[in-house]
Structure 1
Amino acid sequence: MKKIVLPFLISLVLVGCNGKSDDNGTIEQPEGKITANGEQYIMMPSNYEWKENNTEIRHLRPHNRVKSADNFETLEAEKGDTLKFEIDKKPSSVEMIKVNEDDTIESVEMKDNEIILPSKEGYYIYELNAKWDKGKITFLFDVNVK
């Protein structure tokens, strides 16, 4: 009996925690995508909060950019390349920061959902914070600029 119950409970927890929307009114977690050199990549969600229709979701993780970025396939790009972003549910505001190799943090200007990569070679971690009236999410990704 335990062999049947444990997989069932694990499946139930995974399905209940994914935040995907269906016609029953569950909440769908926004997805963030990057387009670089014609290829599309899914950004790693870090923290997520949403409140809608008497349902509240809070998925908060310890804030460790390096560890979270390790879960993302590092983008290989050229100096000055442009990255384009697409975020589900059209956020009301988006802010981005860049963490340099020396751990200094800079604000990154985003125009028309695009950023221009640095003109200096190096490894960079980017954090994108998107907000809506009903919630917010943080996405992470890393880039090796050559």
Structure 2
Amino acid sequence: MKSNKKFYMVREDMLPNSIVKTAMVKEMLAGGEADSINEAVDRLQMARSTYYKYKDGVFPFFNAENMNIINISLLLRNVSGVLSSVLNCIANLQGNVLTINQNLPLHGVAYVTLSMSMEDILVPVDDILDKLQDIDGVINVELIGKS
């Protein structure tokens, strides 16, 4: 089910102080600069109730924690168009490739790892792996991580 909430990208100096401080508290907690919410809000001289009011609506520009991401390892034949076919398959499934790392081909094969967002994909991960495995030139596909 897709959320109907809108998101806006706003420059920090345009935001009210309470929103900026809420983001700072979250960064302090994530980075280990504060051990608790109480410690972080005290250091920023912020009311705890203000933090709780905004915490669920304030996010950093890119937050992988809020995304459903899978990491896949592929072994591909060193033939023109194989990687392109893999990427087209993912695009056709509404997947969004976040990172690609391809090693130089050795003995006619290349190792590729990629991370992709599963936010808009409606098929199970196993089906994605099967579809990728069926591509001509794909020797092996493995799920190596999920977050």
TM bracket, shorter-chain basis: under 0.3
Greater share of strand: 1
- TM-score where L is the length of structure 2: 0.24
Greater share of helix: 2
Q: Which has the larger radius of gyration?
A: 2
